[in-house]
């Protein structure tokens, strides 16, 4: 069906049709599984029975070569808070990180500065980074250089 202008035989196009709301299509058959999460990290505040509050960091990573690796870090009386002198934007706290390899049962202790502003820490002994403020539940993994 076409429209004519001033009773002339000139084609002017089809009329405008308002779009109909689309309905969800039902998909039959097997659905693709979402990709498994292989790492995660969280930063939380804790409170003891005495009313003392502190910072704790938990992270985990699973890979075929290393297996399950988990990291715990808690603030204690020896933790030191510091701040950048130049810009003053980044704040750090020195924490003791306990790295545990579940397959072999090996525990590694490492002191590292946790950046409170960005939520990142680099563990030199195992060449891995923890980022608690990364989207989708944090990140704990190796640093790959290009």
Looking at residue 132, its pLDDT comes to: 95
The reply to whether 114 falls in a domain is: yes
Q: pTM surpassing 0.75?
A: no
Q: Are 59 and 130 in contact (CB under 8 A)?
A: yes
Domain of residue 58: give its range.
Answer: 39-142
In a domain, 5, yes or no: no
Whether 20 maps to a domain, the answer reads no
Task: Classify residue 72: in a domain, yes or no.
Answer: yes
Name the pairing type of β-strands 120-123 and 53-63.
unpaired
Contact (Cβ atoms closer than 8 angstroms) between residue 139 and residue 41? yes
Instruction: Note whether residue 68 is domain-resident.
Output: yes
Number of domains in the chain: 1
Residue 13 placed within a domain: no
Answer whether residue 53 is part of any domain: yes
Could you give the 3-state DSSP secondary structure of residue 82?
A: strand
Mean pLDDT by 10 residues, the chain (146 residues): 53 63 70 86 92 92 93 90 82 94 95 93 94 92 80
The Cα 20–Cα 63 span in angstroms is 48
Would you state the pLDDT for residue 86?
77
**Are the CB atoms for 59 and 41 separated by under 8 Å?**
yes
Q: Evaluate whether residue 14 is within a structural domain.
A: no
């Amino acid at each position: 069906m076409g429209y004519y202008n001033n009773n002339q035989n000139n084609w002017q196009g089809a009329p405008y049709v308002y779009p109909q709301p689309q309905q969800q299509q039902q998909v039959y058959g097997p659905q693709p599984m979402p990709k498994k999460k292989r790492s995660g990290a969280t930063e939380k505040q804790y409170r003891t029975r005495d009313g003392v509050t502190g910072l704790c960091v938990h992270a985990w990573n699973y890979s075929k070569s290393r297996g399950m690796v988990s990291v715990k870090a808690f603030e204690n009386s020896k933790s030191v808070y510091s701040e950048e002198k130049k810009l003053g934007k980044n704040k750090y706290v020195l924490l003791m990180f306990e790295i545990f390899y579940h397959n072999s049962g090996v525990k590694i202790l490492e002191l590292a500065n946790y950046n409170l502003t960005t939520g990142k820490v680099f563990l030199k002994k195992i060449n891995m980074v923890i980022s608690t403020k990364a989207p989708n539940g944090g990140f704990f993994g190796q640093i790959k250089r290009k």
